[in-house]
Amino acid sequence: MSVWRRKGEWLEWTAEQDVHSIEDIRHALAVTVGDRFLQKLFRSSNIQWKGRRVMLRLFPEETLQYVPEWTEVEVLYEDDFSLVANKPAGMKVHPTRDGETGTLLHALGSYLESTGQRCRPRHIHRLDEDTTGPVLLAKNEWAQSRLDEAMRDKRVERIYVALVQGHPPESRGRIDAPIGRDRHHATRRRVSRTGDPAVTHYEVLERLDSASLVRLRLETGRTHQIRVHMSHLGHPLLGDSLYGGRTAGMGMARQALHGEQLVFSEPFTGERMEVRATWPDDFAVLYEQLKK
């Protein structure tokens, strides 16, 4: 049985029998590591082998892309390859203009630096600035390539909860409506025949007095997808003024949307990971308020 272990910048693999060439390594590791990445490691002299032992340099020291800034961010899951952070409201995942600070990547840079990790966080997906919940990040180039591929193949599952206006007539459904830019507004999106394909699945968990608690699962990941689709359905998110949601008396200065669960396969072992983020205080308070 093959054995793996990390040694500093290197991942050591003990094969079942002696390795004699890069072709032996490609044959054994093409599925686990990926043939293209193995070739890249070989060209840059980042593969070494002797006898049954093979060393892959998957963890080179890296400089941070952004100046680290200390902001307390909850890390929900972490291993040598990936990290899941619980993004708070009012924080962007990454800068969108030169010189912008205060993003999740700035905060995680500080976290990694404080824990002695010389690696660069790479976000695999995003959340809107005022949406809370788990964000998946890779900790090295190889993990990024594997997790990006998983996102493209729809093998990363993102599950949200929202408080929406009114009561959807169906207890569950599938919204298949393309999303494009709204030419009348700089940041707003809209359902458009010429837009990008977008599919959202929803389930009504609880019907409250004037609102509903809804669980949503993304099949695609368009900008503002849940917000656009629920507004298109006639049930915009509470607090979401951009898409027609009620804001008066909400006591919540943002859209009532929270990423509740993230499901993905650990990039190296393939183990299925399910990461949950508890409701933030403002979401929980609004829910209790609506139940009265």
Token readout for 139 is 């900790």
d(CA 112, CA 63): 11
Other C-beta atoms within 10 Å of 90: how many? 11
Strand, coil or helix: 140: coil
Angle at the Cα of 226 from the Cα atoms of 220 and 227, rounded to 5 degrees: 145
Burial class (CB in 10 A: 0-12, 13-18, 19+), 143: buried
In the set 98, 128, 176, 282, the catalytic residue is 128
Strand partners, 181: 189
Token output for 150: 């998983």
Contact (CB, 8 A) for 222 and 178? no
Integer distance in angstroms from the first to the last C-alpha of the chain?
Answer: 59
- How far apart, in Å, are the Cα atoms of 74 and each of 89, 134, 137, 202, 204? 13, 9, 13, 27, 29
Q: How many CB atoms lie within 10 A of CB 273?
A: 15
For residue 186, the one-letter residue type is A
Cα 81–chain centre separation: 14
Q: Which two tokens stand for residue 50?
A: 């002797």
Q: Are 222 and 232 in contact (CB under 8 A)?
A: no
State how far the alpha carbon of 46 is from the alpha carbons of 60, 119, 189, 236, in Å: 10, 17, 45, 52
Annotated catalytic residue 128: yes
Query: Active-site positions?
Result: 128
